Structure 1
C-alpha cells in the first residue's frame, strides 16, 4: 500500500498526515515523511519535529489522566479480566469433563472388546479341544479297524492254509483207505476157498 498523502493542504498538514500514517507501521523519518508528503527536506525536518513534540504533549496528557478515571478503568479491566477468567475456567471444566467422559467411554469400549476377545478365544479353544478329541477318537477307531482287518486277513490266511492241509490229509487218508481196501480184498480172496462149477472146493 502506498504511503503518499494527498497533495492538497499545506506542507505542515501533509507532513503531519504522512507522519501519522507512517507511525502506524514504523518510526517516521525525515526521508520517509519527505517522500510521502512531497515536501522539501527542510519542511520535512521542521514539521516532523513539530509533530513529534505535539505527540509527546498528547502522550503526557494521557499520562495525566485523572485518578478516578484510572481507577474506574482499572475496575472495568479487572471485571473484564475476572469474567474472562471465569469463562475460561468454565470452558476448561467443560472440556475436562468431556475429556474424562470420552476417556471413560473409551475405557468401557476397550473393556468390552477385551471381554469379547476373551470369550471368542475361550470358544475357539473349547472347539479346538473338542475337535482334537474327536480326531484322536477317529484315529483310534481307524487303527482298531486296521488291526481287525489285519487279524481277519491273518485268520483267512490260516483258514486257507488249514483247508489246504485238510485237503492234503483227506487225499492221503483216501489213498490209505484205497490201499487198505485193496489189501483187505486181497486177503479176503486169499482166505476164501475157491470152488469149481460143480460146487466142489479146489
Structure 2
C-alpha cells in the first residue's frame, strides 16, 4: 500500500504544484493518504524536484549553447564523414560488382566453350565408336565368310585329293591293262643275228 500511497502523493503534488506550492494538508487531502505518508512522500517529491532543478540550474546557458553548437558541429562532421564513407563504399561496391559481373561473364563464356568442346569431343567419340562398331561387325562378317570359305576350300581340296587319288588309281590300272594288251598283241621281235623262222 505504501508504494501506491507514494504514487498518489507524487501525482497530487505534481497537480497542485501547477497552481501553487503543495503542502502536507493539500497533498493529504488530494491523495487520500495519512498525514505521515503525505509528509514523508511530499518531502521525497520536493527533494527530487530540487535535485533535478539544481542540475539544470547548475549548467549555465552559455555552456548549453556551446554544447549545442559543438554537438551540431560534431553531428555535421559525422554526417559529412558518413556521407563520404557511404559514397566511397558505394563506389567500391559498384566497382567490385562490375568486376564480379565481368568475372562471372568470363566464367560463363569459359563454361560455354568447355561445354561446347566437351559436346563436340563426345560427338566425335560417339561417331568413332559407331564407326569402330560398324568395322568390327564388318570384320566379324568377313571373318565368318573367310572361315566358311576356308572350310569349303578344305572340303573341296580333300574331295579333289580323293578324286585325284582315284583318278591316279584308274590311270595306273588302265596303264597296266594297256601294257598287258600291248604285250598280247605285239609279236616278239627277233634278237639281232637271229633269222626269223621260215
Alignment TM class, shorter chain as reference = 0.5 to 0.7
Q: CA 1:189/1:107 → structure 2, altered by over 3 Å: closer, same or farther? A: same
- Tell me how far 1:89 sits from its aligned partner: 2.0
- Tell me how far 1:164 sits from its aligned partner: 1.6
Partner in structure 1 of residue 149 of structure 2: 155
| Larger CA deviation: 158-167 vs 80-89 | 80-89
- Tell me how far 1:88 sits from its aligned partner: 2.7
Count of residues in Structure 1 that have an aligned counterpart in Structure 2: 157
d(CA) in 2 for partners of 1:69, 1:108: 57
d(CA) in 2 for partners of 1:177, 1:53: 159
Q: Please, what TM-score do these two structures have when normalized by structure 2? A: 0.54
Give the one of 104, 116, 133 matched to 1:139. Answer: 133
Structure 2, unaligned runs of 5 or more: 1-35, 190-194
Partner in structure 2 of residue 10 of structure 1: none
d(CA) in 2 for partners of 1:164, 1:182: 27
**CA offsets 1:63-100 (integer angstroms, 9 cap, x no match):** xx98x998877666555444343333222212222222
d(CA) in 2 for partners of 1:146, 1:194: 70
Q: Please, what TM-score do these two structures have when normalized by structure 1? A: 0.53
Once the two structures are superposed, the pairs formed by residues 1-202 of structure 1 within 5 Å of their partners are 44-45=40-41, 47-52=43-48, 54=50, 78-192=72-186
d(CA) in 2 for partners of 1:41, 1:150: 125
